[in-house]
Amino acid sequence: MAQAPRAVPPLSALPVGDAAPECIAPAKPGGGFDQSCKLAQAAFQQAGLTRTPMRITYLPGGVGAIAFDQIVTRRPAEPQTLVAFSSGSLLNLSNGRFGKRGIGDVRWIAAVGIDYGVVLVGRQAPWKTLPELLAALKADPGRISFAAGGTIGSQDWVKSALVAGAAGVDHKSMRFVAFEGGGEASAALKGGHVQVYMGDVSEVFDKLAPGGPFRVLAVLAEQRLPGPLAGVPTAREQGVDIVWPAIRGFYVGPQVSDSAVAAWTSTFDQLMATPAFHELRARHGLFPLALTGPALRAFIDRQNRQYAELATRFGLRR
C-alpha cells in the first residue's frame, strides 16, 4: 500500500520575534554558501514572510569553521539566524577541521537542494573532454594546478584528489591552490592563474552563458543534469567513476528553542512543497532535495560516516 504523503503544515511567520532574519554565508561572496542564502532570501520575500529582504552576512574563515564556532559559542540562542552549510561543511566536521566541534553541536534545520561537482576549465584551455585533461595531467602533473574553495581536506580538494587519482597521479603530487570560497577560485580560473577548478554547479551556474569564460568538462552526477548543462557528459560517461553530490541547507545555534526549530521546519516544509520554490531553486543552480527533521539528521549521519572513510583513505583526519 502506498504511503500517504506527509502533510505540509500551514505557512506562518518566521520564528524571529522583533529581530530581522539573517543568513550567515560562511565564505566570501560568490560561492555556494552565498547562493544558499540568496535562495532563502528570495523564497521568504516571495512568500511574504519578510517585509524587507533577509540580511546576508559573510563570515569567511576555515570554509565554515569560524561561522560554526561563532554560532556555537557567541550566538547560540538566536532564533532569527540561519547559517548556510553544505556537504563540504560536513566533510570538514568529520575530518576534525572544526576543532572539537561535531555534528551534534548545532541544530540542523533543512536541506533545500542538492548540488553536484563540476570539472571546470577556462574557455581557452586545450582540453575539450575529461580524458584529455587526465592524459595531460598524467604526462606532466606539475603543469596543471587545481583551484579550490578551501584548503587541503576540503571537498574541492577531495574532488581534485579523486581526479588526480583517476589520472594515475598521487594526490600528494598534484599542484593545489586554496582560496576562501568558490567565488575567489572561479575568479582565479577566469584570470588564468590556475588551470582547473573543481567547483560545484551552483557556484558557476550564472557564469556558463555561451561564449563565457569557462568550459565544463564533466559533471560529477549519476546522470546528466537538466538545463544549461544538459549537453555536458558525466564523468562516468567518460570512463571516470567519480560522483560528488553536495547538499545545501541551513542550521541554527544549539540553544535555539524547540518551538523556534519547529517553526523553521514548518516554514521550510511548506516552502519546499511549492512550485514557486522549485523555480527559485533551479534558478540558483540547485536540484531537487528537501529534507527536514529526522530524515535530515539521518542523511547527515550517513554522510558523516562516508566522509570519515574518505578521511582515512587520504590521511586527512586530525
DSSP string covering 139-181: H-GGG-EEEESSSTTSHHHHHHHHHHHHTT--GGGSEEEE-SS
Alpha helices in the chain (DSSP H): 32-46, 65-73, 87-94, 130-139, 155-166, 182-190, 201-204, 258-272, 275-283, 293-314
Average pLDDT over residues 259-286: 93
User: Residues with Cβ < 8 Å from 51, sequence gap 6 or more?
Assistant: none
Residue 199, C-alpha cell as written in the block = 567547483
How far apart, in whole angstroms, are the C-alpha atoms of residue 209 and residue 228?
8
Q: Give residue 288's domain range.
A: 22-114+246-314
Q: Which of 238, 270, 294 is the last residue of a domain?
A: 238
Residue 301 lies in a domain: yes
Please name which of 96, 86, 18, 83 lies closest in space to residue 57, comparing C-alpha atoms.
83
Minimum mean pLDDT among 54-63, 205-214, 231-240, 289-298: which range? Answer: 205-214
Among 222, 238, 254, give the residue marking a domain's end.
238
CATH number at residue 151: 3.40.190.10
Spatial distance between the Cα atoms of 276 and 25, rounded to a whole number of angstroms: 23
Domain-embedded: residue 93: yes
Residue 16 in domain: no
Q: How many domains does the structure of the chain reveal?
A: 2
Mean pLDDT for the chain? Answer: 89
Q: Which of 238, 270, 298 is the last residue of a domain?
A: 238
Residue pair 253/78 in contact by the 8 Å Cβ criterion: yes
Report the percentage of the chain scoring pLDDT > 70.
95
272 with 209, same domain? no
Give domain status of residue 143, yes or no. yes
Q: What is the pLDDT of residue 297?
A: 95
Q: Which amino acid is at 68?
A: F
Question: Which of the four pLDDT bands, split at 50, 70 and 90, describes residue 5?
Answer: very low
219 and 278 assigned to the same domain:
no
pLDDT for residue 201: 87
Q: Is residue 120 a part of any domain in this protein?
A: yes
Q: Say which residue, 203 or 3, is predicted with more confidence.
A: 203
CB 307 within 8 A of CB 95: yes
Which of the 8 DSSP states describes residue 211?
T
297-313 confidence digits (pLDDT tens): 999 999 888 888 887 88
- 95-150 confidence digits (pLDDT tens): 888 888 899 999 999 999 999 999 999 989 999 999 999 999 999 999 999 998 77
Report pLDDT digits (tens) over 213-268.
Answer: 899 999 999 999 988 889 999 999 999 999 999 999 999 999 999 999 999 999 99
| Average confidence (pLDDT) over 165-190 | 88
Q: Classify residue 87: in a domain, yes or no.
A: yes
Overall average pLDDT of the 267-281 stretch? 95
Residue 28 belongs to some domain of the structure: yes
Do 197 and 186 meet the contact criterion of CB atoms below 8 Å apart?
Answer: yes
- Residue 2 placed within a domain: no
**Res. 208 pLDDT band, cuts 50 70 90:** confident
229 and 126 assigned to the same domain: yes
Cut 0.85: pTM above it? no
Residue 22's beta-bridge partner residues?
A: 55, 81
Phi, psi (deg, nearest 5) at residue 273 = -90, -5
Give the residue-averaged pLDDT of 191-208. Answer: 85
Q: Which pLDDT band holds residue 317 (cuts at 50, 70, 90)?
A: low
Backbone phi, psi, residue 65, to 5°: -65, -40
Q: Are residues 225 and 125 in the same domain?
A: yes
What CATH number does the domain containing 50 carry?
3.40.190.150
Q: For residues 252 and 261, what is the distance between their CA atoms, to the nearest angstrom?
A: 8
Same domain? For 153 and 126 the reply is yes
Q: In sequence order, which residues have a C-beta less than 8 Å from that of residue 54 and are 6 or more positions away?
A: 20, 21, 22, 23, 37, 40, 41, 44, 45
In angstroms, the CA 104 to CA 292 distance is 15
Please tell me whether residues 51 and 128 are part of one structural domain: no
Residues 253, 154 share a domain: no
Q: What is the pLDDT of residues 9-33, one digit of tens each?
A: 445 568 877 778 999 999 888 888 9
Q: Are strands 22-25 and 81-86 parallel, antiparallel or unpaired?
A: parallel
Residues 83 and 121 in one domain: no
**Does 57 share its domain with 201?**
no
The reply to whether 104 and 252 lie within a common domain is yes
